[in-house]
A and B are shown apart, each in its own frame.
Chain A
């Protein structure tokens, strides 16, 4: 049983007891605990079930590398699955439950998978695909879905808020251990701006537990002094609970700050994602201990040796009374010393090395600890937790020499530098034969814009395991990094000193014992979370998997939420052995950000709720909102689709609005239309290139409708152009097109015609624009007064400046509805006043506002095309019968050459026609005109498609436009259009102009 010790726990505040629950059970802890240390303190060694076999799992590690202790944390709006107990600080009222168990943690039905493990080998998932199809649907899929998955997905809306913080800093130090602090001191000494981030709540990393003395004082005191010194420096900032998450190109780094995970509260951000631009990154990310692969190494009670002493020293927690230490290196001896000092028992240190000699080993022997060399663990005894270990000869096959009763096995397979952040952006690794790990190759660092290295790795992350080495490396690395950024050597900061160590060399042990039988190998876990064993990787190798990347995906090794922090090196070593290859030849899988999972909320930052996306509002938006607007998104704008009256459906409102425009007068908020001013001596020539028709010949005071094509000839945008001065044109674009058409113009001006004298300005938002549309439109304006809007003074397709009731306006006589129509532009700040004025004056004429749907119906009745309906990026103006708007006289325009390609001149291209159903119904959106026979894929042949289809209140029938093969030559012919229910509807091909084909109504 694990328990709280009577004394000790350097991070605990025993005067601050806290309560929490685990699976509904009330437990106690102290401020300073992690959830993991508190669970152990309460005797909770079983914390979850494994992914595939539902085997009982306990806490293995004490930090970010923990694979097993994942919990569902919190409830309701703060529920979150897969939270790591080792990195979750305890707070009062915390609720956690274990994952992947049913019906309970102690008694789990899924554990039968454990006995069926023979049938769940590596690549099981892929192998199921080879079975007959019904087996997948009825057997494998339900089974896999039932047994897979860890935590539950949250149901409620996240109760917390999140934010980003952008920062530019000269030097970023990731990792607040002694290496990071030493490097930061070097950096700080130059005056460069420095940010130091540390993922835990504490500075100093492992040093206070392991390092002894630095500069003649205990490591913890040295750390405290270093932090104080750095904090007092003007050019240094220190943030704990802030993890370096990913290193990206050109010194872009993400850091993940957990602001309130240790003390949840409302109304302040929970996480802050730091988006950092730095000249240089120093990674001081430490090292992670490796497990050893022996049978039963996944039983609760088998822990990393370093974690066992962390729990004792940091949190005053004993993982158990009797701990057997199993190791292939000297470091694990420290665990034995720490435990003995706490008054706990260490029955034996089982050392796989045959004749290791070092001061630490001598010390152990001198303390009377039984040290067994050349030995290993044959298997761990126990069902739900460790009861003892069977000892064997490491060189042998697993014959049991002796069984030692114990309740904890503290294992150490050596340490692996945390190379993740070094590797994210391309830093290369090299295999260190002597120390048996991959370490960064400092000669192959990630490089910046000038090819300069922009990451320096220091300390244990650079493969330095002794305190003295770590300090010297960090001092030198920090200095070099600073010099590369500032061009000056840092002021003389002395190298921190620690006693040199002379450990006995590590002996790589990838399997224990080295000649283990298949039965033993089937119980040696590599990846605890995903249930990948030594036998699985060996099977993959036998089945032909040679690449480590393929083996990873086949076996799922390292694919769990811990991303293989414990399993990767062991797994690839086993693979290398199976393939008879060298470890460096097999290589590692790719290290990708984030280092540990970061919350989705932090990625979204402020972008949620009201500010998920920008919402663009016109100057009349408030009025629409207060008057029944039924909104429709148009780009980022919101526009009224229609204005619903009391007890009126949207469809009814549209019919009312259309009729009111045809018979009386309607108001349209057209402010979203793009308005681009184009000015200069070459502006006319430029617009002749931008538009398919001629704009340079337009007279001042007049308007002309124009089409814009892409260089590939496809119709891109349309709108009315007004010549507003001798060398000045105002181009109206579609609502969604304003920004990209402006960019399109600027691109041509800046890259192709840079010597043309043309300036553009996007004035879209400077003006509110209101359409006054309908036979009574003129009367409304005359009642407002201030301008002569008679046909003689302001004819169709002309514009004039003036004032309406004292408001400066420009009126364009243009029509998108077929009716008498005035589009009135005024400064946005006067838009609402003008709108109110027009409503007031129009009251006697029955004026009503109308929305985008009525706009669409009105234009469809007139056969006017709509960009995005009749065009979809594959349509050229000629398809739409717009040949009249394509100049034959012009030598060139954008798209001209493309339109001369044979495919574009092909008479088989579908062409625009009007469509009238024979029964008067509305053709379904997107319907195809069917043709006899089937194509090679067994699909019905088609001969056209609908582009716009509406109920016409004016004609009292369904009308549509569509592209049909040889359409214009087939007037009067009836074709069938598909329906969603599988049937068809007959429609007659007619002219697309359904209403007022002579255009008499708009020209009055």
Chain B
């Protein structure tokens, strides 16, 4: 009857890289013993990808498993699937110490796309973004200027960012400011 509404309307800003507001994305927090087989199979049953190692990520076509801390994972999946996965993981882990919760609505998601996309982020996060360190498949919890955020390198030219919903407007303005045409640093070009 009602569709979920994201903090910002999806859209794009054409800077020297394109800043895209993405529609609501399903996200689930799972806390527990990550080495536990039951947890691993519950998680990978919901999101059929490989379990990531420390600081790692597995993702494909809008689904992903992201290592957040030694006892925390972030799962991504289509928004509509979340309730089912929360339920199934909860059931699978019943009796073991764990926490699973829907956090899809607590987040806003952006993409930065383009040859110099990496530089847009370089202006805002202190994380090491050198292509040799932060190549496709890399994932970091860090900050963008004054707020926490997570950054995923999808390809060398495309990055996906996750921040808290309440600061979506702030982060959007940050990204647009950092992507102003003519402000390219040109640092990581070949």
Contact = CB atoms under 8 A, between A and B. Distances in A.
Contact of B126 (A166, A193, A636): A166
Interface residues of B, number: 54
Contact of B97 (A167, A234, A759, A830): A759
Interface of B: 1-2, 4-7, 24, 29, 31-32, 71, 97-99, 101-107, 119, 122-130, 132-133, 145-147, 164-170, 173-174, 177-178, 180-183, 185, 187, 190
Interface string A179-218: 0000000000000010000000000000000000000000
B145 A607 contact: yes
Contact of A606 (B24, B102, B126, B177): B177
Given A619-B5, A759-B99, A761-B101, A167 B187 contact: yes
Contacts of B180: 161, 267-269
Contacts of A167: 122, 187
Contact of B123 (A606, A680, A766, A806): A606
A169 B32 CA distance: 36
A605 B24 CA distance: 30
A759 B146 CA distance: 26
Interface stretch (A101-109, A310-318, A610-618, A888-896): A610-618
A275 B127 CA distance: 11
A611 B170 contact: yes
A193 B105 contact: no
A164 interface: yes
B5 A832 contact: yes
Given A166-B123, A166-B125, A829-B105, A619 B97 contact: no
Contacts of A166: 122-127, 129
Contact of A611 (B2, B173, B187, B190): B173
A807 interface: yes
Contacts of B29: 761
A679 B1 CA distance: 32
B59 to A, nearest CB: 22
Contacts of A805: 1
Contacts of A766: 101-106
B167 A611 contact: no
Given A268-B183, A829-B24, A615 B169 contact: yes
Given A168-B133, A275-B126, A615 B183 contact: no
A828 B106 contact: yes
For the complex of A and B, 5 pairs with smallest distance between CB atoms: A829-B4, A616-B166, A759-B99, A765-B106, A828-B105
For the residues of B in contact with A, the DSSP-based class is loop
Nearest to B4: A829
A129 interface: no
B184 to A, nearest CB: 9
Contacts of A659: none
**Which of A163, A268, A605, A759 lies at the interface centre, i.e. has the most chain B CB atoms within 10 A of its CB?**
A759
A615 B101 contact: no
A272 interface: yes
A856 B190 CA distance: 59
B182 A268 contact: yes
B178 A606 contact: yes
Nearest to A682: B97
Contacts of B183: 163, 268-269
Nearest to B166: A616
Given A163-B183, A832-B5, A761 B105 contact: no
Interface string A892-916: 0000000000000000000000000
Contacts of A637: 166
B2 A830 contact: yes
A637 B166 CA distance: 8
B178 A828 contact: no
Contact of A761 (B97, B99, B169): B99
B2 A807 contact: yes
Interface in A647-669: none
A168 to B, nearest CB: 4
A587 B177 CA distance: 47
A196 to B, nearest CB: 13
A272 B123 CA distance: 9
A828 B7 CA distance: 9
A833 interface: yes
Among B105, B119, B126, the most chain A Cβ lie within 10 Å of the Cβ of B105
Given A761-B103, A765-B106, 7 more contacts: A166-B122, A166-B124, A193-B132, A234-B190, A275-B126, A619-B5, A766-B106
With a 10 A CB-CB cut-off, give which of A161, A167, A268 has the most chain B CB atoms. A167
A269 B119 CA distance: 14
Contacts of A272: 185
Contacts of B6: 829
Nearest to A680: B97
Contacts of A607: 145-146
Given A610-B173, A615-B167, A761-B99, A165 B2 contact: no
A751 B12 CA distance: 44
B97 A617 contact: no
Nearest to A768: B105
A613 B174 CA distance: 11
Contacts of A763: 101, 103, 106
Nearest to A637: B166
Contacts of B125: 166
Given A619-B7, A680-B97, A830-B4, A237 B106 contact: no
A681 interface: yes
Contacts of B173: 610-611
Q: Which of B133, B165, B174 has the most CB of A within 10 A?
A: B165
A759 B30 CA distance: 10
A757 interface: yes
B154 to A, nearest CB: 20
A702 interface: no
A757 B106 CA distance: 25
A438 interface: no
Contact of B105 (A613, A679, A681, A765): A765
Contacts of B5: 619, 829-830, 832-833
Contact of B147 (A614, A680, A828, A832): A614
9 contacts: A164-B123, A167-B187, A614-B167, A615-B167, A615-B169, A616-B166, A636-B167, A765-B164, A767-B105
A207 B166 CA distance: 56
A208 B107 CA distance: 57
A760 B101 CA distance: 10
A277 interface: yes
Interface string A748-788: 00000000010111011111000000000000000000000
A614 B173 CA distance: 10
Contacts of B185: 165, 272
A764 B103 CA distance: 10
A80 to B, nearest CB: 21
Nearest to B170: A614
Given A610-B173, A617-B7, A677 B2 contact: no
Interface in A577-615: 605-607, 610-611, 613-615
A164 B122 CA distance: 8
Contacts of A605: 123, 145
Nearest to A805: B1
Contacts of A830: 2, 4-5, 105
A617 B108 CA distance: 12
A827 interface: yes
A820 to B, nearest CB: 26
Contacts of B24: 829
A536 B46 CA distance: 79
A806 B105 contact: no
A619 to B, nearest CB: 7
Contacts of B103: 761, 763, 766
Contacts of A275: 126
Contacts of A165: 119, 122-123, 185, 187
A806 B1 CA distance: 7
Contacts of A807: 1-2
Interface in A818-832: 827-830, 832
